[in-house]
Amino acid sequence: MANDPRKQAEIDYPRAAGEEGRAWIRSKPFGHNPQETARFLIDFGYVLQLLDLHVGSSLAELGCGSGWMTRLAARHGVQAEGYDISPEMIEIARAEAAREGVDAVFEAGDYEELDLGRRFDACLIYDALHHSERPELVLAAARRALKPGGRLLVAEPNWKQRFQGRGASDEAAALPLPIAPNGEGGGACCADSVTCGARRGGGWRTSAASGSSPLTCITGAWIIAASEVQ
């Protein structure tokens, strides 16, 4: 890892951000401008819906950063664990969980290498897959985290769409999906559905996240997959 500048930058990010930056990290999803905070909270609601997270279900978030999604899931009654490559980010996540009185587990680890023992009902990779140059390794780690039939949500928000809404729809129709859970590219992000098309392979059963949600025109790729490991 020491020989990988990209990963080292992720590890060092909280320190490099300075005190003002760390305050921003700690406050997320709150303390931002109203539009940005609203979008974060809408995204969390969509995560709950797509992963069907009921009280007592289990969730692993890979690349959790400050752990705000993991902590909100724990508040909902989910047995939630978050993993991030930066030990300092994990310290922030643990401190915020303690301050909020939230029962969530946070551990430092490279999400390309994790083996979580197929313990979880659901796995989330939110706004994090683009940090890896080997996304297929991240998706393999996600599959190792899930029980047979467990659900993975990969969310790579498109910030241009997020803040332009329908004004970006025409541009969005031509955008390719960044990656499918089977490691393939292709597909499109459309005005009327978050992702289009379904793929099968690599141990995943995949489907598009679509419907009437207002998220359909303000996010990028949201890909649902179910583990086929038996």
Q: How confident is the model at residue 221 (pLDDT cuts 50, 70, 90)?
A: low
Cα gap 158→34, rounded to integer Å: 18
Residue-level pLDDT at 36: 85
Single pTM value for the model: 0.77
Do the beta carbons of residue 173 and residue 191 sit within 8 Å? yes
Cα gap 201→156, rounded to integer Å: 21
Q: How confident is the model at residue 159 (pLDDT cuts 50, 70, 90)?
A: low
Cα 55 to Cα 40, 75, 84: the distances in Å are: 21, 9, 24
Q: How many domains does the chain have?
A: 1
What is the token pair recorded at 9? 């930058």
Of residues 7 and 170, which shows the higher confidence score? 7
pLDDT tens-digit series, residues 47-69: 999 999 999 999 999 999 999 99
Residue type for position 87: P
pLDDT tens-digit series, residues 128-157: 998 999 999 999 999 999 999 899 999 886
- Tell me the helix, strand and coil percentages in the chain, rounded to 5: 40, 20, 35
Cα gap 160→179, rounded to integer Å: 19
Q: Is 159 exposed, middle or buried (0-12, 13-18, 19+ CB in 10 A)?
A: middle
pLDDT tens-digit series, residues 87-123: 999 999 999 999 999 999 999 999 999 999 999 999 9
Cα gap 194→26, rounded to integer Å: 29
Output the domain CATH number for residue 192: 3.40.50.150
What is the token pair recorded at 26? 């700690």
What three-state secondary structure class fits 200?
Answer: strand
Enter the DSSP assignment of 168.
G
pLDDT(170) > 90: no
Radius of gyration over every alpha carbon of the chain, rounded to an integer in angstroms: 17
pLDDT(162) > 90: no
Q: How large is the average pLDDT for residues 216-227?
A: 58
pLDDT tens-digit series, residues 1-46: 558 898 999 999 989 999 999 999 999 999 878 888 888 899 999 9
Residue-level pLDDT at 158: 62
Torsion of CA 134, 202, 109, 6, to 10 degrees: 10
For the chain, the average pLDDT equals 78
pLDDT(207) > 60: no
Q: Find the domain containing 49 and state its range.
A: 5-227
Residue-level pLDDT at 201: 40
